A and B are shown apart, each in its own frame.
Chain A
């Protein structure tokens, strides 16, 4: 069975600070990796994804994530956060067919 672990449940940053959210997964085969984001009052939406190829993937709004296969990790990064990045971030992994989510990280960016 696949599982996802997110290291932080709550993160508080000031604007312009750098962000890194940790994500580790457990799965025995080839995986697709995702970060989903839910802004306050909005639907859950895809932020970025990794299927294959370059392990450094770029998503919307300046976010990027790096797949490190040896560490079973897919950490999310952004060099300089903005107040509008306040949201809940979910790491997810998909193996054969279903999507498994981590518990989410609530990011609060103070202006």
Chain B
């Protein structure tokens, strides 16, 4: 299994500002994922981040709004840009256990973002 930490654990931000969320894994992984969990909703995949290549964004999410960095095999950041109250969510990163199979993922504790 992998141990994942995220920073910050929570933040309150003003609209129009940006927040960068960090995700650190205790082992080298190929694929890292970023999810959003809005109040009362399920987890929605924002993008998949592979080291050494551009992140792949899901429908409805764009790089200008959610730029992602993946500088090495244990670290990634997600920036929520030009925030609005609709961006208030829990943001989670995860990694996949490729030895187990597609879909078996380990999740971080999440970052609870409130935009005022």
Contact = CB atoms under 8 A, between A and B. Distances in A.
Interface residues of B, number: 21
Interface in B68-116: 92, 100-110
Given A43-B109, A44-B92, A99 B103 contact: yes
Interface of A: 4, 32, 34, 43-46, 49, 51, 90, 92-94, 96-104
B22 to A, nearest CB: 16
B102 to A, nearest CB: 5
Contacts of A34: 103-104
Contacts of A99: 33, 45, 103, 105
Contacts, number: 49
Contact of A43 (B41, B45, B108): B108
Contacts of A94: 102-103
Nearest to A1: B59
A102 B37 CA distance: 11
A101 B42 contact: yes
Contacts of A100: 45
B44 to A, nearest CB: 8
B104 A49 contact: yes
